[in-house]
Structure 1
């Protein structure tokens, strides 16, 4: 399992900061040494390895998925564009293109049932390469070729194996996901409070709530766990 993002026109330091990391904590580590930071005894997190490739900067994660999450992708793409490629450990792969904080296209490469709504230029670009191979599902190669053709940034195994600025970012510190937009079918909340408007000089009604000095009962809220 791995995940990689490519962002145009920002530095590797900016990349780490937009993930939510403190860039000053990074150190040059090879891929082998960076793997030792994936300690199961530590809090949930991911090891980020970032570097520049021409006009683009990439961030690579072994055994991590932060680069496929809306929070980091929204931050990375502010004022620019970002590509995200995920090779899932369960065989599920993913692609997303973000621009100016918004996802413009997302799909699972190689599966027609994930075809996004038009326009879908990246689906088309990948499909052209899939058709050219004549294979039913040749993995992520056509997708990576399409991204490399657009960015001119070719990320090879030699670069990933060598020393890159590396740090470990806990999941609790990463850039959090933006709130979901309101559902278009749901009514908007009213713009005013219910009831008759108070006449000038009318004392306000008594507050409805707990009695003075009454204990407050805490409420327990559930939390979703991201994978």
Structure 2
């Protein structure tokens, strides 16, 4: 497990973000589940120009590691909302790490719409499972977000560095709105 690969998440300018991994799906299917109808290959700089932060919506940046697709959102994430979680995990497994603007970290493992595990590293446990003790076993020098990403990344076989996130990825803007009462 390469913990160092994930240090960008603890040092980053990002106040919050959501990183979702979905097994046995194509990037277009993940984007569609999140309300985006088309993907364009872009660098982060090109995406920021095409979809300025002043434009409402969630910027989806997608790629793949083996049989897992990742979706990274660092503005107005939607993949961590209940309807999106149900759509993304339908018939498959979804692993997700969310860091909120206030620094709270949530790890989710959802299989076919059912929470297999959900917890805050070093904090509340909503549904316990095997990822939590793996994160807790990492040296305390690692931040909660870095530890969570390292373990989830190890689980899916992904080492996602900042250069990959800044580079050429399938990109879309989603303005998906959940029905009232679904948040």
Q: Please indicate the TM-score interval, normalised by the length of the shorter structure.
A: 0.7 to 0.9
Which residue among 20, 25, 36 is the counterpart of 1:21? 36
1:156-184 Cα deviation digits (max 9, x unpaired): 11111101111111132xxx47xxxxxxx
Aligned to 1:156: 161
Match of 1:39 in 2: 53
Unaligned runs of 5+ in 1: 178-222
Structure 1 counterpart of 2:134:
125
Q: CA deviation at 1:20?
A: 2.2
What is the DSSP-based 3-state SS (H/G/I as helix, E as strand, rest coil) of the residue aligned with 1:155? coil
Q: What's the offset of the Cα at 1:3?
A: 1.0
Q: State the 1:62 CA deviation.
A: 1.6
Query: What is the aligned partner in structure 2 of residue 106 from structure 1?
Result: 118
Aligned length: 167
Partner of 1:89: 101
Work out the CA distance in 2 between the residues paired with 1:117 and 1:88.
Answer: 19
Specify whether residues 62 and 38 from structure 1 end up closer, same or farther in structure 2 by C-alpha distance, changes over 3 A only.
farther
Bigger radius of gyration among the two: 1
Separation (CA, whole Å) in 2 of partners of 1:145 and 1:61: 18
Query: Which of the pair has the greater relative contact order for Cα pairs under 8 Å at 6+ separation?
Result: 2
The 4+ residue runs of structure 1 with deviation greater than 4 A are 223-226
Decide whether the 8 Å contact of 1:38 with 1:46 is kept in 2.
no
Going from structure 1 to structure 2, the CA distance change for 1:143 and 1:28 (only over 3 Å counts) comes to same
What is the TM-score when the length of structure 1 is the normalising length?
0.67
Higher strand share: 2
Give the alignment's TM-score, normalised by structure 2: 0.81
